[in-house]
């Protein structure tokens, strides 16, 4: 499996692959790969003849006091599993390759970018939309694969692709969880054993909302207060948000409908975790 470092190389690989008759799949990641990422690689390989996985810790999506500097970077360990699960090439550019000196062009999906994670992480979705645009322009993919785990990110990117009439299909893959329910995340590495146990509150709250909705509870206020009670049992966790929103607009809803997004974010010690469900 080849490792590509420049936009020019990635674009050439994409065009050569297309000339051979392949559909091009792109899976953007920040590395520190786990089984959630691998599920995206497999989905990409199942529907595209040529799959590029990008590994890039994108500085513009981190706030000044966030974990950019200490975000886990495990490139050497990431390559073999990526290849095994379907990546044909890895695109691992230096920061200056995607952000040349003096770069001043950004993609801002107004409105959506200020909701959910965007409310507590100002500038985060601007960074995400900008880097994903750069990756799309470089890789020219037919399909790009993202996890439902980052559901607000999916909404922002779907809107971006629609607004800019980008010729790429966004494919969303289900959340991969540990056996006990914890959603896999590169940031789970930060958790101590006791934090790891407490972190289960997020998936517990999500499962509870799904169960209540399946049993007919549609009121956002009831679903949210049930989740707040679940979190209240773990005072060491600080809730960032618990929201019921329209998945396309990220606007809060009062009544859940099929496809409504129930999303939570919470601080477990110094680690911010997210989880969600699309309600039945
Ligand atoms: P990241 O490396 O955290 O930026 O994630 C790269 C991609 O993997 C994003 O599209 C995430 O939504 C997706 N992803 C992360 N965790 C999971 C998971 N537990 N299940 C499915 N997809 C995931």
pLDDT at 157: 98
Q: Whose CA is nearest to atom 10 of ligand 1?
A: 146
Same domain? For 40 and 123 the reply is yes
Same domain? For 146 and 7 the reply is yes
Q: Is 117 in the pocket of ligand 1 (CB under 6 A)?
A: no
pLDDT at 116: 98
pLDDT at 101: 97
Pairing status of strand 261-268 against strand 237-245: antiparallel
Same domain? For 37 and 158 the reply is yes
Q: What's the domain count of the chain?
A: 2
pLDDT at 107: 98
Q: Is 60 in the pocket of ligand 1 (CB under 6 A)?
A: no
Q: Is 124 in the pocket of ligand 1 (CB under 6 A)?
A: no
Q: Is 37 in the pocket of ligand 1 (CB under 6 A)?
A: yes
Same domain? For 168 and 247 the reply is no
Q: Whose CA is nearest to atom 11 of ligand 1?
A: 147
Query: Where a domain ends, among 152, 173, 194?
Result: 173
- What contacts 16, CB < 8 A, 6 or more positions away? none
Q: How far is the CA of 174 from the centre of ligand 1 (A)?
A: 10
Q: Is 188 in the pocket of ligand 1 (CB under 6 A)?
A: no
3-state secondary structure of 34: coil
pLDDT at 139: 98
Same domain? For 6 and 117 the reply is yes
Q: Best substitution site from 26, 27, 29 to test ligand 1's pocket, by max atoms within 8 Å of Cβ?
A: 29
Catalytic residues: 37
Mean pLDDT score, 211-221: 97
Any idea what the CATH number is for the domain that residue 11 is in?
Answer: 3.40.50.620
What is the rounded distance in angstroms from the CA atom of residue 14 to the CA atom of residue 57? Answer: 22
What is the rounded distance in angstroms from the CA atom of residue 234 to the CA atom of residue 212? Answer: 20
**Mean pLDDT, rounded, of the chain:** 98
Same domain? For 58 and 121 the reply is yes
Atom of ligand 1 nearest to the CA of 150: 12
pLDDT at 220: 98
Atom of ligand 1 nearest to the CA of 33: 2
pLDDT for 163-211, tens place per residue? 999 999 999 999 999 999 999 999 999 999 999 999 999 999 999 999 9
Same domain? For 41 and 167 the reply is yes
Same domain? For 102 and 196 the reply is no
Q: Best substitution site from 77, 146, 150, 261 to test ligand 1's pocket, by max atoms within 8 Å of Cβ?
A: 150
Judge contact between 228 and 242, C-beta under 8 A: yes
Same domain? For 237 and 260 the reply is yes
Atom of ligand 1 nearest to the CA of 31: 2
Same domain? For 148 and 250 the reply is no
Any idea what the CATH number is for the domain that residue 217 is in?
Answer: 3.30.1300.10
In this structure, is residue 86 part of a structural domain?
Answer: yes
Same domain? For 50 and 118 the reply is yes
Atom of ligand 1 nearest to the CA of 145: 10
Q: Residue 79 belongs to what domain range?
A: 2-173
pLDDT at 246: 98
Q: Is 175 in the pocket of ligand 1 (CB under 6 A)?
A: yes
Q: What percentage of the chain carries pLDDT values higher than 70?
A: 100
pLDDT at 84: 97
Torsional class of 181: left (φ above 0), alpha (ψ -120 to 50), beta (otherwise): left
Q: Is 127 in the pocket of ligand 1 (CB under 6 A)?
A: no
Same domain? For 221 and 124 the reply is no
pLDDT for 106-146, tens place per residue? 999 999 999 999 999 999 999 999 999 999 999 999 999 99
Q: Label residue 57 by pLDDT band (50, 70, 90).
A: very high
What is the rounded distance in angstroms from the CA atom of residue 62 to the CA atom of residue 73? Answer: 15
Neighbours of 59 (CB within 10 A): 14
Query: Where a domain ends, among 173, 203, 222?
Result: 173
């Amino acid at each position: 499996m080849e490792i590509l470092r420049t936009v020019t190389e990635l674009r050439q690989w994409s065009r050569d692959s297309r000339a051979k008759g392949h559909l091009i799949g792109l899976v953007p990641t920040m590395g520190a790969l786990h089984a959630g990422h691998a599920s995206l690689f497999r989905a990409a390989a199942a529907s595209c003849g040529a799959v590029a996985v990008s590994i890039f810790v994108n500085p513009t999506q981190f706030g000044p006091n966030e974990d950019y500097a200490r975000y886990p970077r495990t490139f050497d360990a990431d390559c073999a599993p990526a290849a095994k699960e379907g990546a044909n090439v890895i695109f691992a550019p230096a920061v200056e390759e995607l952000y040349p000196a003096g770069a001043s062009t950004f993609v801002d999906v107004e409105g959506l970018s200020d909701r959910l994670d965007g409310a507590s992480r100002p500038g985060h979705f601007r960074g995400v939309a900008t880097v994903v645009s750069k990756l799309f322009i470089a890789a020219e993919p037919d399909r790009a694969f993202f996890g439902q785990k980052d559901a607000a990110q999916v909404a922002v990117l779907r809107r971006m692709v629609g607004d800019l009439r980008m010729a790429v299909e966004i494919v969303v893959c289900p959340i991969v969880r540990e056996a006990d329910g914890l959603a896999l995340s590169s940031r789970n590495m930060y958790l101590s054993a006791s934090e790891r146990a407490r972190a289960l509150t997020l998936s517990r709250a999500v499962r509870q909302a799904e169960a209540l909705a399946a049993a007919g509870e549609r009121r956002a206020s009831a679903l949210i207060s049930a989740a707040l009670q679940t979190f209240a049992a773990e005072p060491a966790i600080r809730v960032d948000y618990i929201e019921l929103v329209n998945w396309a607009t990220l606007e809060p809803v009062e009544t859940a409908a099929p496809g409504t997004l129930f999303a939570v974010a919470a601080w477990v010690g110094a680690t911010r975790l997210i989880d969600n469900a699309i309600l039945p």
